[in-house]
Structure 1
Amino acid sequence: MEREAECKHEYFEGVIRAMAGASYAHNRICTNLTVEIGSQLRGKNCSAVGSDQRLQILSGSAYVYPDLTVVCGQPEFNKERKSLIRCSTPRCW
């Protein structure tokens, strides 16, 4: 359903919710954080990815698009959805 949808949706606590677009100020903050945190992670075993990366939060059975995610080590992808990162701490924040 999500791959064919015209907008993004999140699944959290048993509810599917359409996501609203963000403001210019919000997007600027997210971009600045991604650049700054990404530069701090350069050369380390962690990387930063932006809001188009969908995550499967294993501890809470949620599917979300965080503004910024830090993944340490090799990302673990969902077997059916190769673009979906399976996330459990301490591997991603």
Structure 2
Amino acid sequence: MGQPEYHPRLSIEEYLTLEKETETKYEYHDGEVYAMTGGTPTHSLIANNAGRSLGNAFLGERCFTYNSDLRVATSRNKYVYPDVSVVCGKVSFFDELKNAANNPVLMVEVLSEETQAYDS
């Protein structure tokens, strides 16, 4: 898994439109947009095991484990797709578009040598 593909600077509105118009997931970092690339089998296994372990740990609780399909807004200028997210209670959003969760209590990102600087 290499560095994510970089796209020119976009407004949040342009980013959200780009996401709606393609099947590619993009992360947004204060105007910089990166297409997310596919992972390796090892990356997938580690992320899946982390999600399963967290899901099992929260059985019977009001906390839910999500995979990398849940877009998360870590601020109004940063949207990411963590490998695993945990939200306790109902997922909340910055706006009525419900375009990104803003209340995870935990995010897990599986790092590689190539993505460590980007994902840290």
TM-score by length of 2: 0.66
Q: In the alignment, which residue of structure 2 is the partner of 1:92?
A: 105
Higher helix share: 2
Larger Rg: 2
Q: In the alignment, which residue of structure 1 is the partner of 2:70?
A: 53
1:61 Cα deviation (Å)? 2.1
Aligned-pair identity in percent equals 34
**Alignment pair present for 1:16 and 2:30:** no
1:46 Cα deviation (Å)? 0.9
Deviations 1:54-82 (A, max 9, x none): 11112x621110000010121113411x3
**Alignment pair present for 1:66 and 2:79:** no
For these two proteins, the number of residue pairs brought into alignment is 88
Runs ≥4 in structure 1, deviation > 6 angstroms?
none
Deviations 1:22-61 (A, max 9, x none): 0011001111111111000011121110001111112x62
Q: 2:59 aligned to 30, 35, 42, which one?
A: 42
**SS at the partner of 1:44?**
coil
Q: Distance in 2 between matches of 1:70 and 1:40?
A: 11
Structure 1: stretches of 5+ with no match in the other structure: none
TM-score by length of 1: 0.83
Structure 2: stretches of 5+ with no match in the other structure: 1-17, 107-120
Q: 2:43 aligned to 26, 48, 51, which one?
A: 26
